[in-house]
Amino acid sequence: MQLSWKTLHNLEKEFGDSFFLLDLDKFKRNYQEFLHSFRSIYPHTNLGYSYKTNYIPKLCQTVDSLGGYAEVVSQMEYDLALRIGVSPSRIIFNGPLKSPEDLENAILAGSIVNLDCLEEVEIVAALARRLPEQKIAVGLRCNFDVGAGRISRFGFDVEGGALDDVFKIFQELNNCSVLGLHCHISTSTRSVESYKLRTQKIIELSDYYFQNQLPQFIDLGGGFFGKMNDDLKAQFDCYIPSYQEYAQGIAPQLRSRFPDDSGPELIIEPGVAIVADVLSFVGKVVGLKTVKSRQIALVVGSIHNVKPTLTDKKLSLQIYSDEENSPTKKLTSPVDLVGYTCMEHDCLYPDYPHKIGIGDYAVFENLGAYTVVLKPPFIRPNPPIIGYESSLEKYTLIRRQETSQDVFSTYVI
């Protein structure tokens, strides 16, 4: 996607002075590259795209068209998957909070449901007793140490015996079975070593609990680093692995344990890994001021558009200026790019080291992960999302500009 001031100006005329840009071709390339990295070693691999990371329906539809699972963690996300045409059998339902109705509907529809706690087990057991002729099948989320430095709150404690207890409950039910094991364990470094360890441990658990019949799947979750620009990568104090390095840490262990292509399905649940670098935010520079020693450029956007997690990382930033009609009013570096909110911390980019002027466009990159889904309706409605596909050589509307009516439609006035 090649941008210029003229391209952005034309998009402004059609869509407004702030918007997200979604590179659909890059998303497809990331998905296919990530999947191929694993399949080249362990062919029976599939991806479950993490909806919570970025549930733009166009992305979710793309995953479905490429044969991937919808990995959801709420009924809201489950409903979205159904609405865009995903078969229930291609939905993985994770997460710590599932109502009895959520569990029953998803299980009976044939979705993969990974249970997270004893309360969910009791709900499923009650369902199995109520429907003795119905075959009930679930997955179980495991909780074990991979050197994360903290105690995770998710899944069944392996060392404490909680996983043993669950298998015993299901063994007493003739119509209830465990299809596979799941884990998703976050670490600050997202290192290959942590994935090697979790793969080793979940294979050991699989061998122990599935002695008579192989599991249908082994699900290693997500949490992988995605692609990023060099200036952003340099701000991390740990190594950023590639797709291929992650695959080399995981897939050979599965291949060694199940060498004859009849092993369980390996499911990987990337979100950040494939979506982080496919979204950018464009905000027009509309105001300049100097306050004592501080130079400030006002952008049509806010920190909630580009950094809703309030990370201290500086995002990759490109400024596009009209070279033919250069604005007379400019500021020289350093310049703080600030947003429209009334909050002092609303600085999208501090100390920009070059000139900037009225009418320039600030383009913030590497925003695909969590930005859209975490953006609150704070002070202004959400901006539109514009998709680009190089094969069609055109920009299309993915989400329209929200209105005040959208924001207040659920209130009783």
Domain boundary among 218, 242, 275: 275
The Cα–Cα gap between 52 and 377 comes to: 18
Residue 54 pLDDT class (50, 70, 90 cuts): very high
**Tell me, what CATH number does 283's domain have?**
2.40.37.10
pLDDT at residue 328 tops 80 = no
Place of tokens 């609405």: 83
Angle of CA points 157, 158, 163, to nearest 5°: 85
**Which residues, at least 6 apart from 213, have a Cβ–Cβ distance to it below 8 Å?**
none
pLDDT at residue 22 tops 80 = yes
Query: Residues of the chain with pLDDT > 90: what percent?
Result: 90
Residues 202 and 271 in one domain: yes
Residues 306 and 263 in one domain: no
pLDDT at residue 392 tops 80 = no
Q: What per-residue confidence (pLDDT) applies to 150?
A: 81
Residues 246 and 320 in one domain: no
**Which residues, at least 6 apart from 393, have a Cβ–Cβ distance to it below 8 Å?**
none
Query: Cβ distance 278 to 353 under 8 Å?
Result: no
**Which residues, at least 6 apart from 96, have a Cβ–Cβ distance to it below 8 Å?**
116, 117, 153, 154
Write out pLDDT tens, residues 171-189: 999 999 999 999 999 888 9
SS (H, E, C) 301-370: CCHHHHCCCCCCCCCCEEEECCCCCCCCCEECCCEEEECCCCCCCCEEEEEECCCEECCCEEEECCCCCC
Which residues are registered as beta bridge partners of 394?
Answer: 389
CA distance readout (Å), 289 to 227, 262, 273, 285, 332: 35, 66, 39, 12, 11
Q: What per-residue confidence (pLDDT) applies to 322?
A: 92
pLDDT at residue 1 tops 80 = no
The Cα–Cα gap between 22 and 287 comes to: 26
Name which of 117, 136, 114, 123 is nearest 217 in CA terms. Answer: 114
Residue 274 pLDDT class (50, 70, 90 cuts): very high
Residue 349 pLDDT class (50, 70, 90 cuts): very high
Residues 66 and 133 in one domain: yes
Q: What per-residue confidence (pLDDT) applies to 262?
A: 86
Residues 246 and 309 in one domain: no
Residues 189 and 49 in one domain: yes
Range of the domain at 358: 5-16+278-402
Q: What per-residue confidence (pLDDT) applies to 25?
A: 95
pTM of the entire predicted model: 0.95
Residues 88 and 111 in one domain: yes
**Tokens read off for 323:** 């070279």
Residues 93 and 236 in one domain: yes
Angle of CA points 255, 258, 260, to nearest 5°: 95
Q: Give the number of domains in the chain.
A: 2
Q: What per-residue confidence (pLDDT) applies to 102?
A: 96
Q: What per-residue confidence (pLDDT) applies to 149?
A: 78
Q: What per-residue confidence (pLDDT) applies to 324?
A: 84
Q: Say whether 119 sits in a helix, a strand or coil.
A: helix
